[in-house]
Structure 1
Amino acid sequence: MTDVLRISAFPAPSARNGGNPAGVVLDAAGLDETAMLAIAAETGYSETAFVLDIQEPAEANGPGRVRIRYFSPTAEVPFCGHATVATAVALADRHGTGLLLFDTAVGEVAIETAETANGETTASFTSVEPSVTPMDDDVVDRLLSLLGLARADLDPAYPPRLSFAGNVHPVIVLGSRETFASFDFDPSRLRELMDEHGWAATVTVLSPLGESEFAARNLFPVGDITEDPATGAAAAATGAYLRAIGAVKPPAQLRIQQGDHVGRPSLLRVTVPGSGGIVVTGGAARIE
């Protein structure tokens, strides 16, 4: 029987039942795709991570290398930020903190684990090289319509974009906190649009909270899930998006609050350098 660890990544400080649950299989060497998909479906979380192989450092004090794959209950996902953080913390508990290199379907992802002064283990991953591109007007209009929104609901300072930092995320920013909190959508119709455009991860909807802080809702209709409590890949895409449109001046530190809409308060800390990958940091806790 395969041992599946259940770990919640990015819980907000002092929040009970916060963060995004992920399944983590630390010894998946003998599993094929069919088995991994079946385990992910049975686990029932938005993603489960499977560690296929761990290579020792090539030189003293060098990083270990981890071959990893991610599956939702219905399909393989190229990259998953919260499952990466959960896996890194689980590996740190077993082998100690330090730098690891994850070999993923989107390329090499560096992740550093460390222990805080209060004994918490945190993980910081650096995304692959991001890219941000315009979204066609008709796609924007269709997406807004599915969310019961209109162009007038957008914050004019933040144009809609497609942002990639491991997965492609459509990013829209709303001007009203009330609208952000109250919009709703039909999961099946949104899933059709996402599949049509190859959006394998989440649709990211943001609301500015103040300087360097945003509320996020990440829409992820898959199985019984409609929204993600915490989305590391989307946090990286958000940092890349804000850098690309000139909304932050690197080096910048961001805080993203997520998960309130699904009862799992989460906090993701994002570092935006002047160039290259975006760094996302968070903690993780075992689900008993």
Structure 2
Amino acid sequence: MTTTASRPEVLRYTAFSTDPAGGNPAGVVLDARALDDGEMLAVAADLGYSESAFLTGPPEGLDAPEGLDGPEGRTYRIRYFSPKAEVPFCGHATVAAAVALAERLGPGPLLFATQAGPVPVDVTAEDDGTVRATLTSVEPYVEEVADADLAEALAALDWPAADLDPAFPPRIAYAGARHLVLAAATRARLADLAYDFARLEALMHRLDLTTVQLVWRESPTLFHVRDPFPVGGVVEDPATGAAAAAFGGYARELGLVPEDAVLTLRQGEDLGRPGELTVALRAGDPRVRVSGAGVRIG
């Protein structure tokens, strides 16, 4: 058991914003090798952020996706904890950890070994000092959602079925973690979010969901999104990179956007923590790229 005095430093970064008061905050422990599962969970719970990232040393025998080599000395095993449980993959905490590493190692490529698979990240520094990280997801998939499960989700959200956008069929989408995608017909419907926490949490546990990805399409490539996250002990996630990757795969799979496309997702506005996520799709490559800025808090 690690003593309080010997606990590693816990850094705080926000992802998908250049403003520490925007985006989604995450805890980052750059050397968590001395922490066991319970201690990592305790750190995450103490912070209260939707997720925190813990780097537990270089992995052994990690193979990067084809065409993406693991950079020497910049490859790490990473784990993610919400205040209530470990999650297999977290986009905003990946961006936060990548920015924290880049501030110490310099910009460039990184490779993270996650429970969902290897996730390459490229970090760049812009002329104005902004640090941006672009993660490449594991291969996504989309699956149907049963009518009874959809009805239960809508009941928990208190959303009438008539308030859904018929152009965006409800689906479960995956790109490292599973998310139920539901599209609102209006911005007002998306803004009005007051759901039954326990009821939605129970459904999400049964379907092995990380968040519910609620979206509204403003234009062909601009979306507003919100992500209830009761299974993590958080009412709403302010900016959700894993869900953004899953949504990119969903939108392409269903032909809602071109195979080559750059989408902008705006999230956190309804929480007073605005952030922006860029989702890039490439024809012939099933993986989804999600990018955003990151900055240290305090």
Tell whether 2:74 aligns with 1:81: no
Deviation at 1:64, TM superposition (A): 2.5
Deviation at 1:174, TM superposition (A): 1.1
Counterpart position of 1:258: 267
Change in CA separation of 1:61 and 1:218 when aligned onto 2, cut-off 3 Å:
closer
Q: Any idea what the Cα deviations from partners look like across 1:133-174, whole Å, max 9, x if unmatched? A: 111111111111111112211111110000000000000111
* Identity across the alignment (%): 46
TM-score (norm 1): 0.94
Deviation at 1:76, TM superposition (A): 0.6
Matches of residues 3-42 of structure 1 in structure 2 within 5 Å?
Answer: 3-11=9-17, 17-42=21-46
In angstroms, what is the RMSD of aligned CA positions?
2.0
Deviation at 1:8, TM superposition (A): 0.5
Counterpart position of 1:245: 254
Matches of residues 154-193 of structure 1 in structure 2 within 5 Å?
Answer: 154-193=164-203
Deviation at 1:261, TM superposition (A): 1.8
**8 Å contact from structure 2 (residues 278, 290) kept in 1:** yes
**In structure 2, how many angstroms separate the alpha carbons of the residues matched to 1:55 and 1:123?**
21
Matches of residues 139-288 of structure 1 in structure 2 within 5 Å?
Answer: 139-199=149-209, 201-222=210-231, 225-274=234-283, 275-288=285-298
Counterpart residue identity of residue 10, structure 1: F
**In structure 2, how many angstroms separate the alpha carbons of the residues matched to 1:285 and 1:164?**
27
Tell whether 2:55 aligns with 1:46: no
Counterpart position of 2:147: 137
Counterpart residue identity of residue 13, structure 2: I
Give unpaired runs (5+ residues) of structure 1: none
TM-score (norm 2): 0.91
Q: For this pair of structures, how many residues does the alignment match?
A: 285
SS in structure 2 opposite 1:278? strand
Q: Any idea what the Cα deviations from partners look like across 1:8-42, whole Å, max 9, x if unmatched? A: 0001x6x5610100000001111111111111111
Counterpart position of 2:79: 69
Q: Any idea what the Cα deviations from partners look like across 1:107-130, whole Å, max 9, x if unmatched? A: 000100011121111000000000
**8 Å contact from structure 2 (residues 71, 111) kept in 1:** no
Runs of 4+ in 1 over 3 A off after TM superposition: 58-63
Give unpaired runs (5+ residues) of structure 2: 1-6, 64-68
Q: Any idea what the Cα deviations from partners look like across 1:170-216, whole Å, max 9, x if unmatched? A: 001111111111132021221111112211x2100000011200000
**8 Å contact from structure 1 (residues 41, 73) kept in 2:** yes
Change in CA separation of 1:82 and 1:268 when aligned onto 2, cut-off 3 Å:
same
**In structure 1, how many angstroms separate the alpha carbons of the residues matched to 2:32 and 2:163?**
45
Q: Any idea what the Cα deviations from partners look like across 1:207-242, whole Å, max 9, x if unmatched? A: 001120000010112576200100000000110010
**In structure 1, how many angstroms separate the alpha carbons of the residues matched to 2:231 and 2:45?**
11
Query: Which of 1, 5, 8 is 1:2 aligned to?
Result: 8
Change in CA separation of 1:61 and 1:240 when aligned onto 2, cut-off 3 Å:
closer
**In structure 2, how many angstroms separate the alpha carbons of the residues matched to 1:172 and 1:94?**
39
More moved, 214-223 vs 242-251: 214-223
Change in CA separation of 1:60 and 1:68 when aligned onto 2, cut-off 3 Å:
closer
Change in CA separation of 1:183 and 1:45 when aligned onto 2, cut-off 3 Å:
closer
**In structure 2, how many angstroms separate the alpha carbons of the residues matched to 1:187 and 1:160?**
20
Counterpart residue identity of residue 4, structure 1: V
